[in-house]
Structures are given as structure tokens and as C-alpha cells.
């Protein structure tokens, strides 16, 4: 199943099933909102004409209680910033207030002299989980996958020591355009991620190169904390991160998930 969330002038926030038509993603019919977003979204009783996603006011298709990120999970990215490869997954949080819709404007804080993009595959949790065992089937706990831009104020990340501020500004977590369970990067079908800055390819990585694969991450995280439905786990970025300038357009593409596109502007 593939779905998106959009803002309808008539119905408010709507979750919709997504299908591909002539190589384009279309929202074709309403679906029930996930349990964690039911209060905010409209019901399935509405009707709308199928429309291409590019004609809709898309919203971030997640409503997480937390955004649990993995740092330095690709060797070549750790190396490009002069960091060691971690011996265990490196966890940090972005606040839900940093979420941004596809097409939204990423605001570059005046406090920072270097804002970077980081294209990442995101896991969306579907069922509460804690202490997942080594032999446990993880598929029932994963609702699907999406695209995340782990936008980073690189200078503040370094100078603060803690990453919370450098990773946590409002608009620093674009997500979307869809969530899909029709790809299986946890199950031996890696996906390719490509990031373009103003049309030029900057990142090209495969989830086959994750240092800590998806199953390992879920087991590791849930030894420390409960994951709730809707929680989002960006799995790390491949090499090729870099700074942006006001007006730059960033596009992150993952096989089967479409393209997450945003523009950078000063705050
Ligand atoms: Mg990252």
C-alpha cells in the first residue's frame, strides 16, 4: 500500500491511497487516517476526484511522537566528515516541530553559516514495540518507508557538542511525499537514493551499504525506548552531503517512493 496526506480546501487533512498512472503518482481515494493522527484528519466518508500528487497541497505523511535518527550509518559519509565509523548505532532525536511538508520552504537560520542537506530513507513504525528479540519477525512493526531530509546546521552541530539545536530547527525535517510498504529494504531488496541540488547529482547511495541494517537498528533502538505507531526513523545519509545557498532546490529520490523536493530560503 502507498499513501499520502494532503490538505483539501473542502475536507481539511486527508489521507489517500496512492497509485502510479502513466509514470506519475496519483492520490486516488481516501483511506482511514492512521490511529495516531485520527484526531487531526478527516474521515473516509469524503469523496474526491483522483489527482496527481503534484497538483495537491501535500502534507508530511507522518505524525510521529518522536523522530529517532541514525548518525554516520554509511562508511563513506563518516569518512567525508572526518569521523570514525561508529561501533554501535549512533542515535539522536529531531523534534516533531521540525517536520516539513513536501514542497515546503526550509528556513535557513541566521545563526548558522553552514546548512547542509542529508538525503535519507525513513522507516515509519506501525505498531508499538519494545525489546524486539533477535529472532522476532519485524515486518508487523514496520508500516512502511518514506524519504527524509535530515537538514543540519553543520557549524552548530559541531560547536554545540549536542546535536539537538543543529538538527532541530523548525523546517529541518522534510518528509514525504508518500509512505509505502511496497519496497522491502529490510528484507534483502536494497533501494537506491539519489540527491540532486539544483538538478546536479550530489548523493547516490544504496541501502545495501548501511553499516547497521534496518533490523539491527530496530532491535537496538527498542532495547532503549518504546517505539510508537507513526514514529519516524531516518536511517542515515550516504556520502555527498554539502552546504546550500538561499534559493537552492533539493530533490531526494528513492526507488518506489518518488521525489521529496524542497527549497531553501533565509528565515
Ligand atoms: Mg543524517
Q: What is the CA(90)–ligand 1 centre distance, in A?
A: 10
Q: What is the CA(29)–ligand 1 centre distance, in A?
A: 33
Do 106 and 26 share a domain, yes or no? Answer: no
Do 186 and 131 share a domain, yes or no? Answer: yes
Nearest residue to 205 (alpha-carbon basis) of 25, 78, 56: 78
Do 161 and 243 share a domain, yes or no? Answer: yes
Do 235 and 196 share a domain, yes or no? Answer: yes
Residue where one domain finishes, among candidates 36, 59, 82: 59
pLDDT for 164 equals 96
Do 147 and 83 share a domain, yes or no? Answer: yes
Q: What is the CA(37)–ligand 1 centre distance, in A?
A: 25
pLDDT for 79 equals 83
Q: What is the CA(148)–ligand 1 centre distance, in A?
A: 9
Do 204 and 85 share a domain, yes or no? Answer: yes
Q: What is the CA(237)–ligand 1 centre distance, in A?
A: 5
Do 85 and 192 share a domain, yes or no? Answer: yes
Residue where one domain finishes, among candidates 59, 80, 101: 59
CATH number, position 141: 3.90.850.10
Q: What is the pLDDT along the chain (267 residues), one digit of tens a residue?
A: 999 999 999 889 999 999 999 999 999 999 999 999 988 777 667 888 999 999 999 999 999 999 999 999 998 888 888 888 889 999 999 999 999 999 999 999 999 999 999 999 999 999 999 999 999 999 999 999 999 999 999 999 999 999 999 999 999 999 999 999 999 999 889 999 999 999 999 999 999 999 999 999 999 999 999 999 999 999 999 999 999 999 999 999 999 999 999 999 999
Counting the structural domains of the chain, the total is 2
pLDDT for 81 equals 83
Helix, strand, coil in percent for the chain, rounding step 5 = 15, 40, 40
pLDDT for 48 equals 87
Do 39 and 91 share a domain, yes or no? Answer: no
Residue where one domain finishes, among candidates 25, 42, 59: 59
Do 207 and 242 share a domain, yes or no? Answer: yes
Domain of 209?
67-266
Q: What is the CA(150)–ligand 1 centre distance, in A?
A: 5
Beta bridge partners of 119: 149
Do 104 and 41 share a domain, yes or no? Answer: no
pLDDT for 85 equals 86
pLDDT for 83 equals 84
Do 74 and 40 share a domain, yes or no? Answer: no
pLDDT for 76 equals 87
Amino acid at each position: 500500500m502507498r499513501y499520502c496526506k494532503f490538505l483539501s480546501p473542502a475536507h481539511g487533512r486527508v489521507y489517500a491511497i496512492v497509485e502510479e498512472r502513466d509514470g506519475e503518482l496519483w492520490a486516488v481515494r481516501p483511506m482511514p487516517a492512521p490511529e495516531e493522527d485520527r484526531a487531526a484528519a478527516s474521515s473516509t466518508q469524503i469523496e474526491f476526484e483522483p489527482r496527481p500528487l503534484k497538483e495537491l497541497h501535500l502534507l508530511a505523511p507522518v505524525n510521529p511522537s518522536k523522530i529517532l535518527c541514525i548518525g554516520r550509518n554509511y562508511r563513506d559519509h563518516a569518512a567525508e566528515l572526518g569521523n570514525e565509523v561508529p561501533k554501535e548505532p549512533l542515535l539522536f532525536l529531531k523534534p516533531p516541530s521540525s517536520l516539513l511538508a513536501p514542497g515546503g520552504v526550509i528556513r535557513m537560520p541566521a545563526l548558522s553559516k553552514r546548512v547542509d542537506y542529508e538525503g535519507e530513507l525513513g522507516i515509519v513504525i506501525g505498531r508499538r514495540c519494545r525489546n524486539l528479540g533477535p529472532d522476532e519477525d519485524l515486518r508487523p512493526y514496520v508500516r512502511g518507508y518514506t524519504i527524509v531530509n535530515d537538514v543540519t546546521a553543520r557549524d552548530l552541530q559541531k560547536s554545540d557538542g549536542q546535536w539537538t539545536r543543529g538538527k532541530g530547527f523548525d523546517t529541518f525535517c522534510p518528509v514525504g511525499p508518500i509512505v509505502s510498504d511496497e519496497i522491502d529494504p529490510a528484507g534483502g531488496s536494497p533501494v537506491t537514493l539519489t540527491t540532486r541540488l539544483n538538478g546536479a547529482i550530489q548523493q547516490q547511495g544504496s541501502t545495501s551499504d548501511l553499516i547497521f541494517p534496518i533490523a539491527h537498528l530496530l532491535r537496538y533502538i527498542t532495547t532503549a525506548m518504546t517505539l510508537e505507531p507513526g514514529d519516524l526513523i531516518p536511517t542515515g545519509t550516504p556520502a555527498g552531503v554539502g552546504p546550500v545557498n538561499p534559493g537552492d532546490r533539493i530533490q531526494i529520490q528513492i526507488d518506489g517512493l518518488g521525489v521529496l523536493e524542497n527549497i531553501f530560503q533565509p528565515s
